[in-house]
Structure 1
Amino acid sequence: MRNLDRITNPFNDDKVIANCGIFGVMNTAGGKMSGRDVIEAMANMHDRGNGLGGGFAAYGIYPEHPEEYALHVMFETQRAREETERALQEWFRIGAQEPIPTRNTRGIANAPILWRYFVEPLQEEAIPPTPDGAIALTPDDYVVDRVMVINTSIDGAFVFSSGKNMGVFKGVGHAEDIGTFFCLDEYQAYLWTGHSRFPTNTQAWWGGAHPFSILDWTVVHNGEISSYGTNRAFLEMYGYYCSMHTDTEVIAYATDLLVRKHGLPISVVAKVFAAPLWQDIDRMPSPDRETYTALRQVYGSLLMNGPFAVIIAHQGEMIGLRDRINLRPLVAGSKGDLLFLASEEAPIRLVCPDVERTWAVQGGEPVIGRLFEGIVEPGVDRSAVYEEPCIERFYGHKGQREVHSLSGMRAAM
């Protein structure tokens, strides 16, 4: 055993910085899946976590509340709950509220008070006129603002999920135990993501587990964002405040800013987070070179430095992305209408033994699965050979080389 330790940990490091396990599955035809398979997939990657955090996001789980924001909130004290509920009654119409169902689970202890509220902004509060006649807040803007107020101003209260017809479930423990604790085997969703945490630079607490969420955007992440300070400062200029004490939070907020508020397509957002190297940009043909240069100049503070692999999801879409030099693993798989993303191939084959194909996601190239459209971006070099008709439709003949083409991105913008 000592000899094995010398090979696997030659410098006697007390942490494993390459760990964390991520998993995602989407039925692009909209079919619902039980959370049981996702729990099993995360259990397969048990050793990627150390029991200090796990969580899941599920989409399509509240069909009885399709137009209400589902606020999942954790409270450290009853006083925090009472203060939060007074604020919610002032800001929102509360259609329903209840404790989030849980069950006694070995390995899960010291859980906070967990509650969910289905709310709609009061019209006069959600769209207040501005003194200078500027464009008023949208309901989404208002919800984001109220979430930030709760998370930064009410001691002991944390909103950890705030989208419509979706929810985040997370806490301290192994991922499979968290899934059992939250009774996720009883939920049905068309899109699931999961995370097993191995914290390296931050403390383990219930709010710091993944996924991180704002509105219906969720992020699960394996890696370390060394640009966190720069990213955080940029986001604070736009009213996003990081209160969960972990670098992954900036990815969720940055995605919401770029897609919802700035109107960028997710394929362009991927090129902001994992931008091509300057030496590659210099070799691009015009006007691609000008477009990438502009992205780096305008959004340079949202470049995600450091090793990472992420699965980003929102209603109708799942995206996988790795850092541009492939320092963290991410594998994709597909069968029929199903798209899988995972840190390893093993959990994909566990839950889908007859998966039709698997492939390694290329650094800086997003995998995008879209509801009713299938796989619209495969996340690989465009010279790769594929048999999938939808991929041929997007990238032309098999084996054709198309490097850094942004025509589709500019059209989308």
Structure 2
Amino acid sequence: MGDWQQAGSPRRGLREGEVRIPSGCAIAAIMDRTGARHNGKDICRSIALMHDRSNGLGGGFAAYGIYPEYAELYAFHVLYESHEARMATESYLNEHFLCEKQERIPTTPVKGIKNPPDSWRYFLTPHPSRHDLEFGEFDEAEYTMQCVFHINARINGAFVASSGKNMGAFKGVGYPEEIGEYYRIDEYKAWLWTAHGRFPTNTPGWWGGAHPFTLLNWSIVHNGEISSYDTNRRYVEQFGYDCALQTDTEVITYLFDLLVRRHGFSQEMAAHIMAAPSWDAIDRMEPSLGAFETALRCTYSDCLVNGPFSVILGSEEGLLALNDRLKLRALMVGEKGSMVYLASEQASIELVCPDVENVRSIEGGVPFVVQLDEVARKKAAASFENQPDLKPSVQFTGVMPAENKRGEA
């Protein structure tokens, strides 16, 4: 046998079984349903355990409840690649908002982090003299969203990493544990943390392309690939969403914003639309429910998300986790008291909560919902008249009196 045929020869290419390509990307979340805040040490440890699911080209965190002193203001986290970009962005912000405070986001040098952008945060309220607000063309949220799109698409070298209230995204190019150290997330306290370790497939690793993807108070961390991206993108663009980043995670974020904030669906129903039952399953349903599901799929056919994915959505209500219907991406959940843990791997949960209880896998196509206790109580007291009984299609974790459980979906 010649040298070129021998295993380990530098002239021989790698074969099946000689290299491991992990199941791409890692996601994790930790939430306290009571609203009590915890620092970022545990979420960093949880995502770091899944190091091999990343390749150093992206990592990040979203944190809710970190700015209680500015809870009513929009907190913009902005990444700048040049001084000129910062000057242009701040000029635009000063024209469209009133700024309570602006400062560099504290960071610390990390060996693995190369050429980071200049990171700033701004605590803002929409300018009352702007005509589009004064005459009601946009409400505050819509106005803020359009300003975010303007910065991301039209100011070269500037990118809004997050724009919600009392929350923020910390992300960049590197392994997630490096990003956590760089942004000093152990110094922040949040009632909800989400995290992502990236293994890019169709897009390069850059600071704006790292997860979480955000818009207003929404944040998404995602493992997988959306084969329906072009259909979903074309649909949201009809409603004024600018998919400037050209990535599937971005379009999932915009779908939730469109369906919930604009069209008035609950988060659970929005997830149900995005992971709708198959036509075969609808055909087997009781006629009235089947008719409802048929109407929903026909009306929102372009919102159906196809492909392998696991997603964690963060918002001011709590979190929502969703797997594709065939469950082609892993996502585990566990609980302990008021704490809820999610991760792509069970070991990442057990690392930070060794005595975790009720560990199980998220069901394919079934939204798993965790709400703040206060939010759950308010929703339990609301009327669910004229809403379809989709109870089997939602997993729910929260405070819900038994007589009101019909409204979980």
TM-score normalised by length of structure 2: 0.88
89 and 11 in structure 1: CA distance in 2 versus 1, 3 angstrom threshold: same
Q: Give the residue type in structure 1 aligned to 2:96.
A: W
Return the alpha-carbon distance in structure 2 between the equivalents of residues 233 and 279 of structure 1.
27
TM-score normalised by length of structure 1: 0.88
Equivalent residues of 1:274, 1:364 under 8 A apart? yes
Return the alpha-carbon distance in structure 2 between the equivalents of residues 356 and 97 of structure 1.
42
- SS of residue paired to 2:360: strand
Instruction: State the Cα deviation string for residues 276-320 of structure 1 (Å, max 9, x = none).
Output: 111001111122112211221111111111000000010121011
28 and 284 in structure 1: CA distance in 2 versus 1, 3 angstrom threshold: same
Give the C-alpha shift of residue 150 in structure 1: 0.8
Equivalent residues of 1:55, 1:179 under 8 A apart? yes
Cα root mean square deviation, aligned:
2.8
- SS of residue paired to 2:130: helix
Instruction: Kindly report which structure 2 residues correspond to 1:321-400, keeping only aligned pairs within 5 A, or say none.
Output: 321-372=322-373, 382=392, 393=402
- SS of residue paired to 2:281: helix
Identity in percent: 47
Give the C-alpha shift of residue 10 in structure 1: 2.8
Instruction: State the Cα deviation string for residues 240-282 of structure 1 (Å, max 9, x = none).
Output: 1112232100011111111111110111111111111110011
Q: Which runs of 4+ in 1 moved over 2 A?
A: 8-16, 126-130, 373-376, 381-386, 388-396
Determine if the alignment matches structure 1 residue 408 to structure 2 residue 380.
no
Instruction: State the Cα deviation string for residues 116-154 of structure 1 (Å, max 9, x = none).
Output: 111000123275466xxxx63111010000001111111
Instruction: Kindly report which structure 2 residues correspond to 1:3-402, keeping only aligned pairs within 5 A, or say none.
Output: 10=16, 16=22, 18-125=23-130, 127-128=132-133, 136-372=137-373, 382=392, 393=402
Instruction: State the Cα deviation string for residues 18-73 of structure 1 (Å, max 9, x = none).
Output: 31000001100011111001110011111110111000000000011011100001
324 and 375 in structure 1: CA distance in 2 versus 1, 3 angstrom threshold: farther
Instruction: State the Cα deviation string for residues 208-229 of structure 1 (Å, max 9, x = none).
Output: 0000000010000000011111
Return the alpha-carbon distance in structure 2 between the equivalents of residues 192 and 210 of structure 1.
13
- SS of residue paired to 1:255: helix
Equivalent residues of 1:318, 1:368 under 8 A apart? yes
53 and 38 in structure 1: CA distance in 2 versus 1, 3 angstrom threshold: same
Aligned length: 387
- SS of residue paired to 1:225: coil
Return the alpha-carbon distance in structure 2 between the equivalents of residues 193 and 372 of structure 1.
19
- SS of residue paired to 1:106: coil
Equivalent residues of 2:173, 2:210 under 8 A apart? yes
Query: Runs of 5+ in structure 2 lacking a partner?
Result: 1-6, 9-13, 378-390
Return the alpha-carbon distance in structure 2 between the equivalents of residues 67 and 242 of structure 1.
27
